[in-house]
Chain A
């Protein structure tokens, strides 16, 4: 495969689609599929056959506003229909080329206007199981250009120049990581993609892997060329069977096209990718635990240094990046580092995909330039809190993140600003909470998550999160005391500072941030035995709990 052949494929696809007058794209992502998108698509195909119009019906990945699903987009008019049922199929086909179906038309201009799509540029436009669709949208051009016209050094330099930072949550400069692996000595190096998205309420990586799998593969291949690796692994959690199936298909097609394998595009560059499945452990999203899991060992983290860049898989230099990081690579290579650098805020460049969920009108997948105000995300893109309720807090970063109170909506979304506010960017979960959420209960929920997901290797995380959960449960039941609150804060400090890996080090964040901004709710629970949001059911103790005297 060379650039001319690539262009020929793109040309063929364009010629093929030009035969049709209309395109009906049906979103087949999980949210839409669960509401009957499959049947809808079949009915549209039937309806199109029955009419004399030339209609191309395509299944696509996630279009974004999942709460409005099932979604259908009609091209070339670019009309978006929402809440489409299979009964609407006839009407949609009948109206093609004759204006939109008014009762289905989805007016989400505000929702889309503030978004910038880099990672999701193909989502909703291509059939994820067809490599040609991806190639027709400039796919694999970046890889072949890099292989044929650039040195590995040049590739790393371009990524460094773009200012891209790791999208898995840590925000480590990607270019720096790549150059470290490139400089590490060793004849065998590995490239690993972390697709073990485990934060509750986060589904960005799933949507990318399901909606545009080739983008991840291309990003990894470019990375492999940059750092000098010839073998890659995609670590996907087994709870994402569709993502696994799409990636498997994509890998097979890429191999068949000669975009993976030996001597890619006639160069000396060899690269292939294997998929490894996670077995349902949140901690395996931590890089050293993930590598242990790929090696077939118990998924527990190791102290760093040595970092994977120096000693990773089977002791070899290993580059490990998140799905979204790899998804950013091809556009950066195509458009240049400067293009990417000019998007975003001072220290956080580019765009970020967020999974917007919780008490918000338009839940779904959004992609925004970094530095955007939280208010713009909540009010303009998300459409605000429904049902006349009042916004209370925005939770970012999953169980490792924190809650940002409603009066801090002026905050620009960037790695540093969120960190300063006591939360983290994380992988991109954004959960909106209104006045029906009890913040103590929220903290308890996340601590319970961390407690059950702790691997049990280091004591602060294993025993500390369990103790924190006990103390928070007592507060939620109305049996907590002020002394215990003090103890809880001390535990937070110990677990945060003394834990072995990121899971433990960030586990106290939900507690710390709610204590910082919503301390009065804790006091209300403890002193007045009352839950302001009415979530916790208080048990007023009948008698003081018996004191268990144990000699240590």
Chain B
């Protein structure tokens, strides 16, 4: 098949769909109402393929591909919900819940948390892994926002939105492996960092790791959709 052809046809979960050559599997699937779970992906930001929730199986290949970055090719057969994939997704979620201190009942994002919703969708009822219960700091030095490392899942959405959309690159990741942490500037207090106080990172944070101090209880829905509108407006300029 000629690679230069712009439109490709493929099969996702038995459904025949068409796609543009440059589209990712995730884009095509969502266009056609096929839901693939994601955590680190956010429409409007670059993709890093880090959370591994969107892994899909491709017929004829042993490797699982992250749907958020894998582009389509002609005649590919994608399965998004096999038993194997669902098991991995549940295991990954379990790892996340056991990694830091996610205690929904006392979290500002309870009821609005992407991690929580995803766990519910995937039918996760128990965590079999030993909880790590790490001792992690909370940075409340900022006048408007708080960073609670206990709830961070290292999706790096805050890092990307700050660098790519706000253009400030205040956030980054420090340390490696299980000791990785998001930091502001060169591990300054958030309050005394070069933060522009735009609040985009708070809106895109999928959990209660970044939250607005003015919210109390669990009344903290987030609105990451602003990104798409912002991008549209910028393109129009």
Contacts and interface: CB of A to CB of B under 8 A. Distances in A.
Interface of A: 281, 283, 298, 302-303, 305, 451-460, 462-467, 470-471, 487, 490-491, 494, 497-500, 548, 550-552
Contact of B176 (A281, A305, A458, A500): A281
B88 A552 contact: no
B154 interface: yes
A551 B50 contact: no
A497 B101 CA distance: 26
Interface string B43-62: 00000111110010000000
19 contacts: A283-B176, A303-B48, A303-B69, A451-B178, A455-B176, A456-B176, A456-B179, A456-B180, A457-B48, A459-B51, A459-B95, A459-B96, A460-B92, A462-B99, A462-B180, A465-B177, A466-B178, A467-B95, A494-B91
Contacts of A491: 91, 129
Contact of A456 (B52, B101, B177): B177
B10 to A, nearest CB: 16
A457 B50 contact: yes
Given A303-B48, A455-B176, 11 more contacts: A298-B172, A303-B65, A451-B178, A452-B176, A459-B153, A460-B91, A464-B91, A466-B178, A494-B91, A498-B55, A552-B104
B133 interface: yes
Contacts of A500: 49-50, 52, 66
A31 B178 CA distance: 34
B42 to A, nearest CB: 16
A322 B50 CA distance: 26
B95 A298 contact: no
B23 to A, nearest CB: 15
Contacts of B102: 552
Given A303-B69, A487-B129, A460 B177 contact: no
Interface string B182-199: 000000000000000000
A87 B84 CA distance: 67
A497 B62 CA distance: 9
B96 A463 contact: yes
A418 to B, nearest CB: 18
B64 interface: yes
B49 A453 contact: no
Contacts of B92: 459-460, 494, 498
Contacts of B173: 298, 456
A298 B178 CA distance: 16
B50 A458 contact: yes
A462 B104 contact: no
Interface string B99-121: 10111110000000000000100
Contacts of A305: 70-71
B128 interface: yes
Given A466-B132, A490-B91, A494-B91, A459 B52 contact: yes
A453 B50 contact: no
Interface of B: 48-52, 55, 64-66, 69-71, 84, 87-88, 91-92, 95-99, 101-105, 119, 127-133, 153-154, 172-173, 175-180
Contact of B131 (A451, A499, A550): A550
A11 B100 CA distance: 68
Contacts of A462: 99, 154, 177-178, 180
Contacts of A548: 131, 133
A202 to B, nearest CB: 21
A465 B177 CA distance: 9
B95 A456 contact: no
B105 A551 contact: yes
B221 to A, nearest CB: 20
Contact of B49 (A303, A464, A552): A303
A475 B70 CA distance: 39
A321 B59 CA distance: 30
Given A494-B88, A494-B92, A551-B104, A455 B177 contact: yes
Nearest to A298: B173
Given A454-B178, A466-B177, A498 B96 contact: no
A440 B45 CA distance: 43
Contacts of A550: 101, 103, 127, 131
Contacts of B66: 303, 500
Contact of B178 (A460, A463, A471, A494): A463
A456 B178 contact: yes
